[in-house]
Structure 1
């Protein structure tokens, strides 16, 4: 093993010793109770299988066949989740083929950040993760199930499903992806038109045309944002079948993989031959594997929160220092938009997950000795699925890149360190995605332009007030303030300023997500403004230094003056009402800091 990976893993194991032991003890206690349907009264059980067929009722009465709970995030407004419409019946049929039963245990909400960008509804996005986790737990709480199949892909949905499933750590659990849409208009062209629109050089018709040709069919968006980062993370952590992440929804291989997932979770149940609960798969080593893969590919900054929260649900404590140290040791091996011009389909074609995992294993950057849904050992994930004479088969994956502009080798990496950097200083701690930022733009020292609403920037831009070097500071965007919305409306404006030759950067206690691009963005700043963070003392014209090379984040104002300044806290009333936001006030006020996962902490922390 690479010495840094080994050292960080050992530190996480030591830090988590007590909380992990408590979690595993709870898992073993749940497992010891045996087939859970057997504990139900006759009335309970009758309710649980009332709508089943006679054959299914007979199976469930005998307590000798597995019953698999399906948690689905289907809706047909999300392109990524629209394919899930037909999955439940397909999964039920596949379970029946191996003598088991499956039932839809529940549904969870699935919202699209792409639809809500810049809208009030975006302020529910991060909060929806907690709702999804709780809804997953409700679905599995009936004590009817011996395993679970989780249907989810995007943004907060996968982390929410994972957190909820880890509350049932004794159950074998398998994620079932639906795959990305096929490639449309290149991402570079889409970004170009967006920027021209921001500059007033093209109209809305041109903008809508290119957006529609980019997001054009069922499947995940093809850029490497949070949705595809989720899939990559799940596969490297061993929670999906090998090679299943990036097969298109309309590919016959996709359906074969779905059926295989259903059959496999039955094998993993206590009624099967390979009992492997999710609480054993999600371990300190698998968490480190997920972080390493994220860093090696320049994945979504959202995962710096979601992985922390998911790990904590399994009794494992990680922080941004772990990310930072691993990032220094992990080379960047992938260039997928926004940190390259390729999309996720190109990544898949160039060698995809099998090649990525093989290279990281060979370099000692991933732990091979882990449990997965496919069996023991991550080497299984250097295989890729094929349909040969109509039969699903796993064959050896590629040993070298088929396109070195998309996937590099470890000895010829795109850069020597990973795609994310921790930056810190008198302003606090933040993360910055550097994989898409050109080296000449990674250091910015400039006067602050201070706003507390992303919508304020457009007027300043149109008035020409931003035609200079500047650090745009957007405060009051943290989890407690307004649910930490993504701030993508800023991207075209800041990109235009950078292209004009100005040194520009973004600093915020909010999010930019997986689409963080060519403009340096110090995000997830903690403490947030509402908690009295230093960002609340920044005034227009103050010099701010963001240095992604050295990890420095500084407000260049003398300490005496800063001590004398009062915090300018955000006005929250306009964030509190409308579009359902008033329903989430109690949840929002209890969220922790981004570095601790932006979690509603009390219940989990009291237990573990």
Structure 2
């Protein structure tokens, strides 16, 4: 199948736009790669002795460079359910490395926060910039110059993007991502949503709400809704940075262990000099980035990746913007509906055919690049298969047709003719609208604005009955430079209740919504942000706001000329927020990835 014209055109535009920055990046990686072996050989004996002092039986192999030494960068902690299994990985990975003549050391650990724990709390204002901290921690971990390859242990929201951004600055090293898998399915998502809305209306107790939430988030593994964490796993698969089909296999199963072992064996193989050597910088190119975007659109993935993909791309010298995503969205059909866009969770998605089915459909329609370098080979075709155990041996097979057409459909009969995300723009700036999560009749919205500066103020107005009408709720001063661009997931049940009461409701904000948001139309990541005089700072209560997903419009009929920006009183102290002032001051706009690290230096 020939490549789709739109995919080809957008890829060429990205290549041309990125010519200078990509060349600088590849030149840097070439210099780093050329000097890498020399640095290891020339490492003074005292330095080297420090590096393997605790390596026990692996000392001699590391000292003599008998085989590749793999650096493990782990985001393990016990608070994040999906990362809890990673605690057992390093001892196992060391054994599996020795099986193929390699060694492994934990190079370092990164912080890892759970947005589910911090939603609606002050800690959420650290969330987005934790991605930059993770990238920096990854760089510190790999700064010892003792490693020939990198095993990345991470799954969740800002963690995979941060690991990848940091890893790309060491892109001369082969790198493979390890998943821990999805937790088993708990109560139905529909029931969880029902209890949340009842609690928002004061109709169930906190104890009843906690019981419901605990029946949903109940075991090790990634949360089963298709939010940012599971979108990360999809992206790694579509970009060929993990073993084919490894994303959603549950923790503690024989298949999960077989995939982890095979991942280490494969990483050792691609970390040796020779024909199989494949540095990360070679794997993450313009085609791989486009494949990740197409996967995002085809599966209705997390809106957070409208920030993460541009930031990841920039770390590899590639420049991507929302116009690229919007144009691809017109060509890429929505072929998956996973909660919050549908009833089933990622376990149902996996059972219906999973990413193997998705990749096969996209390849068959010419919607992704087949000719890409992956950790597994030089062709994406292997990712159109699913892993299984043939007796005790790990193998791959064709997933066959969709096992549930309410969750997965072919390109010929999609849920929606275009992708799951749209660019809306006008005199209020540019913003993202996840149309795949919203009923089509709600894509067009026009109502008076009600302006807020915090989620808690929205909640107070709701409790007072002030929002029982058609309304566009505008929550501003939530951008990266104002307060770190927190997710505003606390608003989802409130706005859902208003919509269920028959009102026409929408959200407009320069903040983020959770990767699990849906149902209510929302223009998010508005840029320029309100702080500094962005258009949202000029809106007033009662101004008529139009959101039109079909036409890609975000505007007000009010004349903003001559208005003074609203005042914003910044109080970024407590919960360590004062330590992140540098990140807020240096942060780029949302469309450039909202990152502080790459704002300087021309990347």
Query: What's the TM-score, normalizing by structure 1?
Result: 0.97
Q: CA offset at residue 436 of structure 1? A: 1.2
Partner residue of 2:399?
Answer: 398
Partner residue of 1:198?
Answer: 200
Is the 2:36–2:145 contact (alpha carbons within 8 Å) kept by the matching residues of 1?
Answer: no
Partner residue of 1:183?
Answer: 185
The yes-or-no answer on 1:582 pairing with 2:578 is yes
Is the 2:83–2:221 contact (alpha carbons within 8 Å) kept by the matching residues of 1?
Answer: yes
Partner residue of 1:155?
Answer: 157
The whole-number CA distance in structure 1 between the counterparts of 2:574 and 2:375 is: 43
Q: How does 1:208-247 map to 2 (within 5 A)?
A: 208-247=210-249
Q: CA offset at residue 197 of structure 1? A: 0.7
The whole-number CA distance in structure 1 between the counterparts of 2:224 and 2:569 is: 37
Is the 1:458–1:493 contact (alpha carbons within 8 Å) kept by the matching residues of 2?
Answer: yes
The yes-or-no answer on 1:145 pairing with 2:143 is no
Structure 1 stretch displaced more, 274-283 or 457-466 = 457-466
The yes-or-no answer on 1:46 pairing with 2:27 is no
Q: CA offset at residue 63 of structure 1? A: 2.3
Unaligned runs of 5+ in 2: none
- Which secondary structure does the structure 2 equivalent of 1:372 belong to? coil
Of 55, 64, 79, the residue aligned with 1:77 is: 79
Unaligned runs of 5+ in 1: none
Q: CA offset at residue 358 of structure 1? A: 0.2
The whole-number CA distance in structure 2 between the counterparts of 1:433 and 1:33 is: 45
Q: How does 1:429-444 map to 2 (within 5 A)?
A: 429-444=430-445
Q: CA offset at residue 228 of structure 1? A: 0.2
Aligned residues between the structures: 600
Is the 1:505–1:519 contact (alpha carbons within 8 Å) kept by the matching residues of 2?
Answer: yes
- Which secondary structure does the structure 2 equivalent of 1:103 belong to? strand
Is the 1:444–1:503 contact (alpha carbons within 8 Å) kept by the matching residues of 2?
Answer: yes
Partner residue of 1:5?
Answer: 7
- Which secondary structure does the structure 2 equivalent of 1:410 belong to? coil
The whole-number CA distance in structure 2 between the counterparts of 1:531 and 1:416 is: 38
Partner residue of 1:570?
Answer: 568
Partner residue of 1:522?
Answer: 523
Output one character per residue of 1:376-413: Cα deviation in whole Å (capped at 9) or x when no partner.
Answer: 10001112211112111122x22311100000111110
Partner residue of 1:207?
Answer: 209
The whole-number CA distance in structure 1 between the counterparts of 2:346 and 2:170 is: 32
Q: CA offset at residue 569 of structure 1? A: 3.4
Is the 1:433–1:516 contact (alpha carbons within 8 Å) kept by the matching residues of 2?
Answer: no
Q: How does 1:375-454 map to 2 (within 5 A)?
A: 375-395=377-397, 397-454=398-455
Output one character per residue of 1:282-331: Cα deviation in whole Å (capped at 9) or x when no partner.
Answer: 00000000000000010001001101000000000000000000001100
Query: What's the TM-score, normalizing by structure 2?
Result: 0.98
Q: CA offset at residue 458 of structure 1? A: 1.5
Q: CA offset at residue 162 of structure 1? A: 0.2
Partner residue of 1:540?
Answer: 541
Is the 2:420–2:434 contact (alpha carbons within 8 Å) kept by the matching residues of 1?
Answer: yes
Q: CA offset at residue 468 of structure 1? A: 0.4
Q: CA offset at residue 62 of structure 1? A: 1.7
- Which secondary structure does the structure 2 equivalent of 1:13 belong to? helix
- Which secondary structure does the structure 2 equivalent of 1:422 belong to? strand
- Which secondary structure does the structure 2 equivalent of 1:270 belong to? coil
The yes-or-no answer on 1:97 pairing with 2:99 is yes
Q: CA offset at residue 601 of structure 1? A: 4.4
Structure 1 stretch displaced more, 33-42 or 316-325 = 33-42
Q: CA offset at residue 203 of structure 1? A: 1.2
Is the 2:315–2:598 contact (alpha carbons within 8 Å) kept by the matching residues of 1?
Answer: no
Q: CA offset at residue 272 of structure 1? A: 6.1
Output one character per residue of 1:206-247: Cα deviation in whole Å (capped at 9) or x when no partner.
Answer: 111110000000001000000000000001100010010000
The whole-number CA distance in structure 2 between the counterparts of 1:380 and 1:196 is: 46
Cα root mean square deviation, aligned: 1.0
The yes-or-no answer on 1:288 pairing with 2:303 is no
Q: CA offset at residue 461 of structure 1? A: 1.0
Output one character per residue of 1:529-588: Cα deviation in whole Å (capped at 9) or x when no partner.
Answer: 112100001101110000111100001113xxx112100032112xx1000101111111
Q: CA offset at residue 39 of structure 1? A: 2.3
